Amino acid sequence: MSHRLPPLPGEWIDRSQRIEFTFEGDRLWGYAGDIITSALWASGRRTLGRSFKYHRPRGILSLANHDVNVLVQHGQQLNLRADVTPIAAGMVLSAVNTNGGVRSDRNSVLDFFSPFLPVGFYYKAFHNRRWFPFWERLIRNISGLGAVDVSTPHLRTAKRYDFCQVLVIGAGVAGLAAAIAAAEAGAEVVLVDENPRVGGSGCYQLGADDRQAEQVQALVQAVQGCDRIRVYTSTVAAGYYADHWVPLVEPDRMTKLRAKAVIMANGAYEQPAVFRNNDLPGVMLASAAQRLIYRYAVKPMQRAVVFTANRDGYRAALDLAKHGVEVRAIVELRSHLTASELTQAVTAQGMPIYLGHCLYEAQASPAQDGVAAAVVCPVAANGEPQPQFRQTIACDGIVMSVGWAPAANLLYQAGAKLRFDESLQQFVPDWLPPGIFACGRVNGVYNFQQKLQDGKRAGLAAAAFLGYAVTPTAAHSVWLGDRTESPSHPWPIIEHPAGKNFVDFDEDLQYKDFPNAIQEGFDNIELLKRFTTVGMGPSQGKHANMNALRILAKITGKTPGEVGTTTARPFFHPVPMSHLAGRGFSPERHTPLHERHAALNAKFMLAGMWRRPEYYQRPGKRREECILAEANAVRHGVGLIDVGTLGKLELHGPDAAEFLERVYTGRFRNLKVGMSRYALMLDESGVVIDDGVVARFSPEQFYFTTTTGGATAIYRELSRLNTLWQLDCGLVNLTGAQAAVNLAGPDSRAVLAKLTDLDLSGAAFPYLGVRAANVAGIPARLMRVGFVGEWGYEIHVPAESAPALWDALMAAGADWNITPFGVEAQRLLRLEKGHVIVGQDTDGLTTPREANLTWAIKMEKPFFVGQRSLQAIAQRPLKQILVGFMLDPNYTGYPPQECHLVIDGNDIAGRVTSVAYSPTLSRYIGLAYVKPELAALGTTFSIRLSDRSLVTARVSPTPFYDPDNQRQQETVLTTLQEVSI
Amino acid sequence: MPLNLLKFALSKAHPEPAMFTPRDRLKPSYDAVIIGAGGHGLAAAYYLARDYGMTNVAVLEKGYLGGGNTGRNTTIIRSNYLTPEGVKFYDESVRLWQDLSQEFDLNLFYSNRGHFTLAHTDASLRTMRWRAEVNKHFGIASELVGPEEIQKACPQMDVSCGGKAPVLGALYHAPGSIARHDAVAWGYGRGADQRGVEIHQQTEVFGIQTKAGKVTGVQTSKGEIATEKVLCAVAGSTPRLLHGLGLRSPLYIHPLQAMVSEPMKPWLDPIIVSGSLHVYVSQTARGELVMGASLDPYELHSTRSTLDFVEGLCAHMLELFPFLSHVKIVRQWAGMADMTPDFAPIMGKTEIEGFYLDAGWGTWGFKATPICGKTMAYTLVHDRNHDLIQDFSLDRFKTFALVGEKGAASVGH
């Protein structure tokens, strides 16, 4: 049988479009505009989901985007909220977390075992060390909600930024009024609502009063006609972050909006009454029944009992009756009632009012999937039910309207202070941070006309805050009127000896769980939350926290205000990871020569964000062979490496030399123009953090490099120091703007000579000299460096000229068989030369003394970063020192690897930091930290491999190769060139 | 169904007594005062009472039990550290952890899941090898494994990371575990309370009184109390308390954030950490994914949440686990990490007699809870630093005897 009502004005469904879908294997249909829940309810389905712990049947509770007992799986989409997800043709849906389907969930046996499973039961059992893994597997098997499908693709959801002057969150009556008022005062407004249509409760909590609906329509039209208001519907303001930064989560996008002021018109959550079986399908909040009727034209039930303690319950009764529901009783929790037009209207329609009564329990239908009757009884003055006077009223639905809790999550996140208003029985804003405003129900204002006024007031207050001229009296920052409706009952909680009176529907917590937890000592709200898990389910306690708080307050003899609330954290509703991740931002940096490397079959490796050629693949050759060939080319001919990833900084100004003296350990004031010098940087604790080369191009102009990995951090730190010290110099980061290559090998000078007019003789351009000159017509900076241990030039050019430079060098070098080489060959060559790599041969605590870098320290300088620490460290015995080592030339076993330990007896005595087979020396060489006792030249020590075997190494002098720097001498170079020609 | 649960069905009234005795007034004096009722403070109280019979002890807590970083961390327990000092210390902690549930008769859900620290670069692979070698030297199960073995333990993971930063290997630490963090505080609290220790919640400490370099008492929001021994275990509030005593420390406070997903059917068995991607993740027995990342990159004494944190963490999570695109994040939160320059804690005696410090726990404090309580109890009773914590004293920052655990911090800082 269909439960669809005749067409209603303003309904959200389109009856011209029938949409078929499948739920739990059954073919069903609904109309376009239906959500899953409304389509299911219309087709007569009542058990829509199963509860988290006891697997009890559940139906509609709030129908307000937090019916988290009705989560469905649709293919790869899990935990879809059926009360907000529109149906689509061909959907194949199933309820989550059932064992054998929602109708006959085999795990519902847990409901019968519930006496064994009291609050926190899992802390009290299963912890025998031997048996825990067994129980844990069992628990993990039945826990969780929906299932994740590991074949789901990586969704890349769009993100965008937006800005406005006034953001209004919530397009209910107050929010609409606020938006209009702010816009009319001149502000640019964004209005956000999570529903597909605006109007909020103004469109469904009617009390059969059509005039209210007309007023709301007028507001909606005013908003639509105002070009200063932009409206986001189906959009959740998911959180509030500092400085009015609000993520707006739309179905297929996230907009990050920065506002100048925010009006919180988030409304309130209707709160359930706590009574036995209040979770049966067919027991729902009054607002849920009204939404079913006015949005989806679905009849919530045939015969209803309304349990209420406020005016909204009477409105709901009238709405139900108007649409054909027989209201069999209004059970009024309050014992006194002032007659009003609402009570008169329900009485006139013959609905009996049971004054001072409570709903004691709902009786289940024989199939346990719905309501058969409501058992009501009087309530004593102390709030206790008197079941000896109970009456049973047959019905198929129970509607609850006993109170509200403010949707104040975002207000709390914004730093608002709320106080508990006793007469209203609600937390209301007491103090609001600058630029934050609140109106409507979240502000404790429930009367329709007052909501209009409160919205207008907040809108004007926000406009005034932004400097628009408004009448000051109209723009109070808080509501000054009375709050004539007091909709929340202080104790809508009915104890029952048989329990199953649920407080938290997400987590299946019954009333008794709370006194029991409090008895165990969890007697403040934060501890109570953690022990019982109240409010920790997917709805984050939207219809549980207030009742839990009331229970705690009552038992501990405090007021709800004294008990307080738990911290409200983002998100308001859960947000998909795809929306938060967006398209992702993991930039990959390429040097301007990347295409050249790719064309040469480079194998790339990661170096921070950069991709660098590890080596160039030669046809049919193994990795090691390729690397050795590249290294050989540099030693005996000429090689070319892209070093553009180095940090490249320029420093100008009268104090430039002074700045360098302070940040580096060496002397730079006396560095001659046209020369360069190795530079070592420490942190304040004297630890080595970076190194590079400083070149002086004029008295007040230095150009210097940092390590690839350190480039960003060093620039940031130097900028900080420059700001701090106020020296007269300016720092420019040229890392991305400049490209650099190192042309190295005995033939490098001959190659370069073909491309420049610069005098390249050793006398004119000596080792460590720097020059500015044209290379292949490109303005370049040249530095004679020796990192790989051969005659060579680092050539720095503007990034856009780098490919032309590379091509020119490759062409000019063709006669010498110029060979591009990668990072691995460079590592090997520098190791032969005994150069350390900061970060590989040093770690987070390495001092210059340990790394054998004291030669680069000028302690006699008045100051440099780390100097004071070095003085203290000098007083301490040295724990380890970096030494060179060699293996026996005949060693044929597995080579040691970097970070294998040096072992002395049974103790760790150091570690290997670099190791490689040296083609030049025909044996394995490396660098290792060893304790000082093992550091003398010629000492042997043991390195332990991964398979625990030991290899003997001998401490050797470094550099291993060309210890006297002969290769930088012109006479030697000339000889070498003759040989190679 | 375990027998322990029978009594709940059979008894009319809830058969469980209070875990913590409600306390109202402070006594005029105590043998020792512990400031901070987090896991560390309560553990110290527990071992003081259990091992040394020292029960005239007050634990003072400004907020509620376990409400600081004990209740905010992502509950990972491991001992695969980098320095011998660290390895020995954390290994002893893991040993204590394994028996705690039975000892407390409270299920802490100490769940041994195995722990993978992924390496995406050859530099991090080197560090992993270093850690593995040091760990193995001290008999700790820790080894370098390749992508195939990672894939076997977590077949769902995209080890190619979408081709961006492929996983080259991992440090695998079989004893890696997770536990129910709040229950740890409750277990220690109940154990201490049962032995007579007084736990005073909602009791703020304003200052510590000294005379001639010795502790004499504590000023609190409930009045002054006399004591000669004070143990300070207050994480982010340490600098403020030290300042009052004229002690200097190199602590600096950074926020550390985390987030949790909606529950889903369990699919993730091990704990996965990626330093390069700034991700760590495990799945709880409830089916939620608990995720964390690196420290916020600035000093701040606040527990506010930021949007860019969840955005960044989700982006990186999807690189490793693209199929989580539809999974929703329910909640994010933050704690304050009290960082030290060498990423090792500060423990033990100070230059003020009777003032013992337990601080600098940055991002690594939860796993040390048991051993920290035990060694601090020893230190307080004997007025001598326990052997396991000799290297962690506050002096080391003056004498440059730093410990150097930077390389073992689970994610970049």
- What pLDDT digit, counting tens, does each position of A531-578 carry? 999 999 999 999 999 999 999 999 999 999 999 998 889 999 999 999
Question: Above 70 in pLDDT, residue B15?
Answer: yes
In B, which residues are within 8 Å of A523 by CB distance?
A: 22
User: For residue A254, what is the nearest residue in chain B, using CA coordinates?
Assistant: B311
User: What pLDDT does A17 receive?
Assistant: 97
Q: Mean of the pLDDT values across residues A907-930? A: 96
Domain with CATH 3.30.9.10 in chain B: 112-177+252-339
Residues 23-62 (B) with a CB less than 8 A from some CB of A: none
User: What pLDDT does A505 receive?
Assistant: 97
CB contact under 8 Å between B314 and A128, yes or no, is no
Q: Write out pLDDT tens, residues A761-797.
A: 999 999 999 999 999 999 999 999 989 999 999 999 9
In B, which residues are within 8 Å of A538 by CB distance?
A: 262-263, 330
Residues A619 and A756 in one domain: yes
User: What pLDDT does A1 receive?
Assistant: 54
Residues A177 and A260 in one domain: yes
Of A170, A400, A197, the closest CA to residue A268 belongs to: A170
* pLDDT-derived band at A976, boundaries 50, 70, 90: confident
User: What pLDDT does A454 receive?
Assistant: 96
CB contact under 8 Å between A143 and B109, yes or no, is no
- Domain final position from A76, A110, A144: A110
How far does B123 lie from chain A, in Å, by closest CA? 7
Residues A353 and A326 in one domain: yes
Of A26, A84, A493, A484, the closest CA to residue A250 belongs to: A84
- C-alpha A123/C-alpha B19 separation (Å) is 12
How far does A857 lie from chain B, in Å, by closest CA? 19
Q: Mean of the pLDDT values across residues A326-337? A: 95
Residues A308 and A442 in one domain: no
Q: Write out pLDDT tens, residues A935-944.
A: 999 999 999 9
- Domain final position from A820, A840, A860: A840
User: What pLDDT does B231 receive?
Assistant: 98
Beta strands across the sheet bearing A26-32: A26-32, A14-23, A92-95, A71-74, A77-81
- What mean pLDDT, rounded, does chain B reach? 93
* pLDDT-derived band at B1, boundaries 50, 70, 90: low
Q: Comparing A110-124, A223-237, A314-328, A889-903, which segment has the lowest mean pLDDT?
A: A110-124
User: What pLDDT does A979 receive?
Assistant: 54
Cβ(A958)–Cβ(A940) below 8 Å: no
| Cβ neighbours of residue A223 closer than 8 Å, sequence gap 6 or more | A171, A176, A179, A180, A191, A198, A229, A231
In A, which residues are within 8 Å of B106 by CB distance?
A: 123-124, 127
User: What pLDDT does A196 receive?
Assistant: 95
B138 touches chain A (CB under 8 A): no
Q: Mean of the pLDDT values across residues B122-129? A: 91
Tokens representing residue A622 in the block? 């193994």
How far does A560 lie from chain B, in Å, by closest CA? 17
How far does B25 lie from chain A, in Å, by closest CA? 17
Q: Write out pLDDT tens, residues B279-323.
A: 999 999 999 999 999 899 889 999 999 999 999 999 999 999 999
Cβ(B206)–Cβ(B225) below 8 Å: no
B330 touches chain A (CB under 8 A): yes
CB contact under 8 Å between B331 and A113, yes or no, is no
How far does A595 lie from chain B, in Å, by closest CA? 18
User: What pLDDT does A338 receive?
Assistant: 85
User: What pLDDT does A473 receive?
Assistant: 72
User: What pLDDT does A981 receive?
Assistant: 46
- C-alpha A257/C-alpha A262 separation (Å) is 11
Alpha helices in A622-742 (DSSP H): 623-636, 656-663, 711-725
B322 touches chain A (CB under 8 A): yes
User: What pLDDT does A587 receive?
Assistant: 83
- Domain final position from A374, A402, A430: A402
- What number of other Cβ atoms are within 10 A of residue A210's Cβ? 9
- What number of other Cβ atoms are within 10 A of residue B221's Cβ? 13
Q: A140, A142, A148: which to substitute to probe chain B, counting the most B Cβ within 10 Å?
A: A148
User: What pLDDT does B409 receive?
Assistant: 55
User: What pLDDT does B407 receive?
Assistant: 60
Q: Write out pLDDT tens, residues B42-99.
A: 999 999 999 999 999 999 999 999 999 999 999 999 999 988 889 999 999 999 999 9
CB contact under 8 Å between A876 and B399, yes or no, is yes
| Cβ neighbours of residue A123 closer than 8 Å, sequence gap 6 or more | B106, B107, B180, B183, B186
Question: Above 70 in pLDDT, residue B413?
Answer: no
User: What pLDDT does A383 receive?
Assistant: 87
User: What pLDDT does B411 receive?
Assistant: 47
Q: A410, A577, A682, A929: which to substitute to probe chain B, counting the most B Cβ within 10 Å?
A: A577
Largest CA-CA distance found in chain A, in angstroms, rounded: 118
Residues 181-200 (B) with a CB less than 8 A from some CB of A: 182-183, 186
Question: Above 80 in pLDDT, residue B3?
Answer: no
Residues A753 and A611 in one domain: yes
Fold entry, domain B112-177+252-339: D-Amino Acid Oxidase; Chain A, domain 2 (3.30.9)
Q: Mean of the pLDDT values across residues A938-953? A: 96
| Domain that includes residue A919, residue range | 841-956
Residues A799 and A875 in one domain: no
Cβ-nearest to B102 among A128, A530, A709: A128
- What mean pLDDT, rounded, does chain A reach? 95
Cβ(A778)–Cβ(A740) below 8 Å: no
Question: Interface pTM (ipTM) of the complex?
Answer: 0.95
Residues 77-106 (B) with a CB less than 8 A from some CB of A: 84, 98-99, 101-102, 105-106
Q: Mean of the pLDDT values across residues A862-888? A: 95
- C-alpha A308/C-alpha A316 separation (Å) is 10
B71 touches chain A (CB under 8 A): yes
Residue A966 DSSP SS3: helix
- What number of other Cβ atoms are within 10 A of residue B96's Cβ? 18
Beta strands across the sheet bearing A303-308: A283-285, A397-401, A303-308, A326-332, A353-355
CB contact under 8 Å between A122 and B341, yes or no, is no
Fold entry, domain B29-73+182-250+342-408: FAD/NAD(P)-binding domain (3.50.50)
CB contact under 8 Å between A115 and B9, yes or no, is yes
A63 lies in some domain: yes
* pLDDT-derived band at A367, boundaries 50, 70, 90: confident
Cis peptide upstream of residue A571 (ω within 30 degrees of 0): yes
How far does A249 lie from chain B, in Å, by closest CA? 12
Cβ-nearest to B107 among A124, A247, A575: A124
- C-alpha A510/C-alpha B96 separation (Å) is 36
User: For residue A914, what is the nearest residue in chain B, using CA coordinates?
Assistant: B126
CB contact under 8 Å between A124 and B310, yes or no, is no
Residues A182 and A225 in one domain: yes
Tokens representing residue B203 in the block? 């009791």
Question: Above 90 in pLDDT, residue A127?
Answer: no
- C-alpha B388/C-alpha B397 separation (Å) is 18
- C-alpha B174/C-alpha A946 separation (Å) is 17
- What number of other Cβ atoms are within 10 A of residue A384's Cβ? 13
A680 lies in some domain: no
Tokens representing residue A826 in the block? 């460079």
Q: Comparing A306-310, A380-384, A431-435, A693-697, which segment has the lowest mean pLDDT?
A: A380-384
A116 lies in some domain: no
CB contact under 8 Å between B144 and A946, yes or no, is yes
CB contact under 8 Å between A527 and B65, yes or no, is yes
pTM higher than 0.90 for the full model? Answer: yes
Q: Mean of the pLDDT values across residues A42-53? A: 95
Q: Write out pLDDT tens, residues A626-639.
A: 999 999 999 999 99
Residues A229 and A255 in one domain: yes
How far does A78 lie from chain B, in Å, by closest CA? 7
* pLDDT-derived band at B164, boundaries 50, 70, 90: confident
Q: B97, B101, B104, B126: which to substitute to probe chain A, counting the most A Cβ within 10 Å?
A: B126
- C-alpha A273/C-alpha A612 separation (Å) is 65
CB contact under 8 Å between B323 and A151, yes or no, is yes
CA–CA distance from A439 to each of A77, A262, A568 (Å)? 36, 11, 19
Cβ-nearest to B307 among A141, A241, A531: A241
B395 touches chain A (CB under 8 A): no
User: What pLDDT does A346 receive?
Assistant: 95
User: In percent, how much of chain B has pLDDT > 70?
Assistant: 98
Q: Write out pLDDT tens, residues A242-298.
A: 999 999 999 999 999 999 999 999 999 999 999 999 999 999 999 999 999 999 999
Q: B110, B324, B391, B413: which to substitute to probe chain A, counting the most A Cβ within 10 Å?
A: B324
Residues A945 and A912 in one domain: yes
How far does A948 lie from chain B, in Å, by closest CA? 9
User: What pLDDT does A101 receive?
Assistant: 93
Cβ-nearest to B287 among A143, A524, A899: A143
Tally of structural domains, chain A: 6
**The residue type at A42:** A
CATH, residue A81: 3.10.20.440
Q: Where does residue A10 fall: left (phi above 0), alpha (psi -120 to 50 degrees), or beta otherwise?
A: left
Query: Phi and psi for B87 in degrees, rounded to 5?
Result: -60, -45
Cβ-nearest to B120 among A148, A512, A606: A606
Residues A96 and A164 in one domain: no
Residues A816 and A922 in one domain: no
B369-382 helix and B84-104 helix, angle to the nearest 10 degrees: 100
User: In percent, how much of chain A has pLDDT > 90?
Assistant: 88
Q: Where are the beta strands (DSSP E) in B155-286?
A: 169-173, 177-178, 198-200, 205-211, 214-220, 223-226, 230-232, 252-261, 271-274, 279-283
Question: Above 80 in pLDDT, residue B410?
Answer: no
A130 lies in some domain: no
CB contact under 8 Å between B318 and A899, yes or no, is no
A89 lies in some domain: yes
CA–CA distance from A756 to each of A493, A695, A751, A969 (Å)? 91, 20, 10, 21
Residues A8 and A91 in one domain: yes
CB contact under 8 Å between B262 and A538, yes or no, is yes
* DSSP classification of residue B27: P
User: What pLDDT does A116 receive?
Assistant: 84
A8 lies in some domain: yes
Q: Write out pLDDT tens, residues B150-160.
A: 999 999 999 99
B146 touches chain A (CB under 8 A): no
User: What pLDDT does A121 receive?
Assistant: 87
A940 lies in some domain: yes
Q: Write out pLDDT tens, residues A76-86.
A: 999 999 999 99
User: What pLDDT does A125 receive?
Assistant: 86
